[in-house]
Structure 1
Amino acid sequence: MNPVNTKPYITGCSSGIGRALAELIANKPSHHLIATARKVPDLSYLPDDNPNILKVALDVTSVDSVKNAFTAAKEHFGDNWHLDVVVNNAGYSLSGDTEGATEEESHLEIETLFFGTARVTMKAVEVMRQDKVGEEWRGGVVFNVSSLAGLVGLAGHAYYHAGKHAVEGWTESVAREMSPDWNINFCIIEPSGVRTNFEGHSKAAITPHPAYADPSMPARKLESYVKMGMKAGAAAGMMEPKQVAETIYKIAARGEKVPLRLPLGKVAWMMGKGKFEGLLREWEEVKEISFMGKEGS
């Protein structure tokens, strides 16, 4: 983010990580900012009289809305505008008993978390891969905000996990499609607990299913643990949105190789490490079956 005309494009800026990052960029006079939210009034914390800041209404579940948002950015900053950094942060949590989820609830969650991220990413790639200075591509960085939920699967958030796992696998695949000449890099951000507005409009709940109501059920135990963690705050390893925003900014600005995956927070790092170590143990246990009795084949 060092060039004077750097333009970060951030989705989901109404609260949490997106808002913290938008505020961080807005306070740096050398940067331009494209901040998006489903409703522009949710971006009222940003100034209206700064030509370096564009506030755009964006519904990532709408193909036309995504297209129109990029068109608005081009019209505002001019035909030779540069898109250097994109942060896909739009999304919300859907929690509850999976058996009780409706078709509409489950489809909208995946549409927002996964297809929304995919739409914005590929539109950004289209812009970045055509942006050349002489014979050199300017390139850019796409940050897709996943979660610890993209690494592990816990009870009571199946469709949220599905969306984040989809983002991770999809991003890994798309990153491998890029020509090295284009200089387009991807980074999957995997935070653990963050103090965001997940108790407000960033969280949806499935109507409880009576078969899972007993306090001894795994999802009920996890809910109890999460509530205790929310009260404990930082003591439970929760991060402030500002911390995550500053880390994303540093990754984009440092000019070094961008990591494909970045677990954020001690909890995310340790739980992710434990997940993969456990997976390796499980693989060793089924090795003979996997090889179908033919060692080395």
Structure 2
Amino acid sequence: MNNQTAIITGASSGFGLLTVVELAKRGFSVIATMRNLESKETIIELCKHEGMENRLHFIQLDVTCPKSIENFSVQIAELPTIDILINNAGFALGGFCEEVSVLEYKEQFETNFFGVIAVTQAVLPYMRKQQHGKIINLSSISGKMGFPGLSPYVASKHALEGWTECLRYEVKPIGIDVALVEPGSFKTNIWSRGKRIAERSRLSTSPYSTYMISIENELEKSKSSHGDPSDVATLIADICTHNKCKKFRFPIGKSVKLSFFLKMIIPWNLWEKIYFKKLGSHKS
């Protein structure tokens, strides 16, 4: 029986929910955090049939709220050990750069970037005192590649990648592992909140409407090939189970590794031509 404790943010749906269940299956004591604790009933129900619900513990946490972070810090101080932190909380905003306000960019960064920093800073003193621990940050293919119409999300994930690399260099000498998981396209609801902003770029009054519609049509066509999110949950649980993270980045999903490799070796002008062709031969 595994007696390790794992904390995960954004546990109410998507990768977070599935990872909680997978870790409970493997014997972890899981601290599932979420903004609305009413969502915990879904997780409990999924774990009941194997008697895993006794391994679940819940903390209300809004990663963008200083008071909530403070309350979280008080509650985790009671834990005998903190072995794993999985920073999963996040959402995605879309829209063209000209049409997304600075306030909306800040909203995206508050959760996807500054929220990760705040939670990590709350947990790090305990891991440092223990001289062991593992921090897994959920990035995306968007953390390594830009996409038109998705700049708020892409920018937040690029920032997360750079910060996480610095963090790994800083804490590895004191026994703490840090890793990035970089999923491609999976069947989750991450875009549900961002559609309200992306809609602006679809309106006939937008100078980008034709372009945005062609992008959305391409995304819609590719939905059938999106991956099973349980694969990402399994990967995260595997990383948690391994003693040491010899790798730093864990790309996962259809063609993600190939895309990363090709972007590194193909000249930019050729890469750009391929990109525009895929998006429906929009003029570059």
Does the Cα contact within 8 Å between 1:16 and 1:197 map onto a contact in 2?
yes
Match of 1:6 in 2: 4
Does the Cα contact within 8 Å between 1:34 and 1:73 map onto a contact in 2?
no
Distance 2:116 2:134 in 1: 14
Q: Look up the equivalent residue of 1:240 and give its one-letter code.
A: D
Cα deviation digits, residues 147-200 of structure 1 (max 9, x gap) = 0000100100111111000000011112111252x2101111110011111353
Distance 1:157 1:221 in 2: 14
1:15 to 13, 16, 19: 13
Counting aligned pairs with the same residue, the percent is: 28
Q: Look up the equivalent residue of 1:178 and give its one-letter code.
A: V
Q: Look up the equivalent residue of 2:245 and give its one-letter code.
A: K
Match of 1:142 in 2: 135
SS at match of 2:38: helix
Match of 1:73 in 2: 76
Cα deviation digits, residues 257-291 of structure 1 (max 9, x gap) = 34111111232111111221136899xxxxxxxxx
Does the Cα contact within 8 Å between 1:5 and 1:82 map onto a contact in 2?
no
Cα deviation digits, residues 237-268 of structure 1 (max 9, x gap) = x2212110111111221224341111112321
SS at match of 2:129: coil
SS at match of 1:65: helix
Does the Cα contact within 8 Å between 2:61 and 2:72 map onto a contact in 1?
yes
Match of 1:211 in 2: 206
Distance 2:86 2:162 in 1: 17
Distance 1:141 1:263 in 2: 18
Shift of 1:51: 5.0
Match of 2:42 in 1: 45
SS at match of 1:91: coil
Does the Cα contact within 8 Å between 1:10 and 1:89 map onto a contact in 2?
yes
SS at match of 2:154: helix
Shift of 1:4: 3.5
Does the Cα contact within 8 Å between 2:93 and 2:191 map onto a contact in 1?
no
Structure 2 unaligned residues grouped into runs of 5+: 271-284
RMSD: 2.3
| 1:255–1:64 distance in 2 versus 1, CA, 3 Å | same
2:180 to 176, 188, 197: 188
Shift of 1:205: 2.8
Match of 2:32 in 1: 35
- The answer to which structure has the higher helix fraction is 2
SS at match of 2:90: coil
Shift of 1:35: 0.2
Distance 2:268 2:164 in 1: 23
| 1:203–1:39 distance in 2 versus 1, CA, 3 Å | farther
Q: Look up the equivalent residue of 1:224 and give its one-letter code.
A: N
- Give the count of matched residue pairs: 261
Q: Look up the equivalent residue of 1:41 and give its one-letter code.
A: E
Counterparts in 2 of 1:240-255, with a 5 A limit? 240-255=228-243
Distance 1:179 1:247 in 2: 21
Distance 1:123 1:170 in 2: 16
SS at match of 1:208: helix
| 1:47–1:266 distance in 2 versus 1, CA, 3 Å | closer
Shift of 1:46: 2.9
- 1:264 and 2:256 aligned: no
Distance 1:43 1:101 in 2: 33
Q: Look up the equivalent residue of 2:97 and give its one-letter code.
A: T
Q: Look up the equivalent residue of 1:255 and give its one-letter code.
A: N
1:61 to 45, 64, 67: 64
Q: Look up the equivalent residue of 2:188 and give its one-letter code.
A: T
Match of 2:112 in 1: 113
Distance 1:164 1:279 in 2: 23
- Higher Rg: 1
Does the Cα contact within 8 Å between 2:172 and 2:178 map onto a contact in 1?
no
Q: Look up the equivalent residue of 1:190 and give its one-letter code.
A: E
Q: TM-score, normalised by structure 2?
A: 0.84
Distance 1:13 1:204 in 2: 23
Does the Cα contact within 8 Å between 2:96 and 2:208 map onto a contact in 1?
no
